[in-house]
Amino acid sequence: MQLNSWFPFRGQGFMGQFSIAIITSIKEEMLGVKTFTLTYDDGGVIPYIAGQFITFVFTHHGREERRSFSISSCAALSEPLSFTVKRIDNGAYSRLLTDKAAVGDTLFTTGAAGLFTLSGHTARYEQVFFFAAGIGITPVYSLVKTILHTEPNKQVVLIYSNRIKEEVVFYKELNELLTEFPDRFKIEFLYSTSFDLSRARLSKSLVAVLLQEYAAVPHDKMLFFICGPFAYMRMVIFALEEQGINSEQIRKENFNTNDRQVIQAEPPDKSTHLVTIQVNGAEHTFPVQYPETILQAAKKQGIQLPYSCEVGRCGSCAARCTKGKVWLSYNEVLMDMDLKHGSILTCTGHPVDGDVTIEV
């Protein structure tokens, strides 16, 4: 199938490096927000896990660019992969998708990825809180549906912040879930323009009030997922920690990976070391020296590794260090538990104190 001219793919061999997905349906959730459903171009199902995002690959002026969008569908309900996009005035690809994409259009993708998932996190917990702001509801909606339909013993609470009711994405669907699971699902819709200032904009004090109001189990039996702008997530995390919530009970997803400048530190060791990467059944060894990251060095060698934001915020490039030590200049996605098990980010990772081996 020919690609539409508004997706500017160029370059020899470009298509062979990635999978091709086709848009099979488009649903307008509200003005400026659309949900796109995909399959592979041969009709095959695109695999994903609730809470992940899908990364697309574009070229612009001969340079490769990648953009990731959160998945809103529920694999546990056998829903084909769908992602939801809000039109951003200065967002080149969000505007292309919401303004021009049509059923039958094709996209190049590296597939679904991300660490904002339920995998390995819910077993010991009895109540799950979700905090979402604006379009940050997208992966949260996927996770809420999954828990309600697959974990009947879990209590679920959603705290969802918007400016006004008319800007609530999935409002109808969320209320249908309330009707379907009245004993297990609670929602607090917060509107920053509300006349009741005590229940308007989310604050640290309001987080404490809501936690107390909706608590059905002791704090150590609660798990928290947070998605929204950086300042919003930081405030919620601080508020939860003040209430005695352990950092290992909190998962976060950076809805906008470009909303603030990243200040990166320098490694304790700037020497050249050999990095061996095992990916797709092949093994590659190459030198890496600061300021070059492992990902940057791999790209120079022509090695295809997964990545998206390239600044330590999305988790697309997460890998596991099986030998040696990798120092991260910046990390907003890996939790202490992940780091203890050897997880690293190639986009901000630097080998230190010797050679390293990494599995992707």
By the 10 Å C-beta count (0-12 exposed, 13-18 middle, 19+ buried), 137 is classed as buried
Tens of each residue's pLDDT in the chain, 360 residues: 333 334 443 333 334 468 999 999 999 999 999 999 999 988 999 999 999 999 999 877 777 888 999 999 999 999 999 999 999 988 889 999 999 999 999 999 999 999 899 987 788 999 999 999 999 999 999 999 999 999 999 999 999 999 999 999 999 999 999 999 999 999 999 999 999 988 999 999 999 999 999 999 999 999 999 999 989 999 999 999 999 999 889 999 876 655 545 556 789 999 999 999 998 889 999 999 999 999 999 999 989 888 888 888 888 899 999 999 999 999 988 888 789 889 999 999 999 999 999 999
Predicted pLDDT of residue 65: 87
Q: What pLDDT sits at residue 315?
A: 87
Domains annotated on the chain, with CATH: 15-112 (2.40.30.10), 127-254 (3.40.50.80), 273-359 (3.10.20.30)
What does the pLDDT read at residue 111? 92
- The pLDDT of residue 181 is 98
Q: How far, in Å, CA of 74 to CA of 49, rounded?
A: 8
What are the C-alpha distances in Å from 151 to residues 177, 186, 312?
14, 15, 31
**Cβ-proximal residues to 99 (8 Å cutoff; 6+ apart), any chain:** 87
pLDDT at res. 172: 97
CA angle 57, 59, 60 (to 5 degrees): 135
Rounded-to-integer distance, Cα 289 and Cα 278, Å: 19
pTM: 0.86
Q: What are phi and psi of 325, to 5 degrees?
A: -135, 130
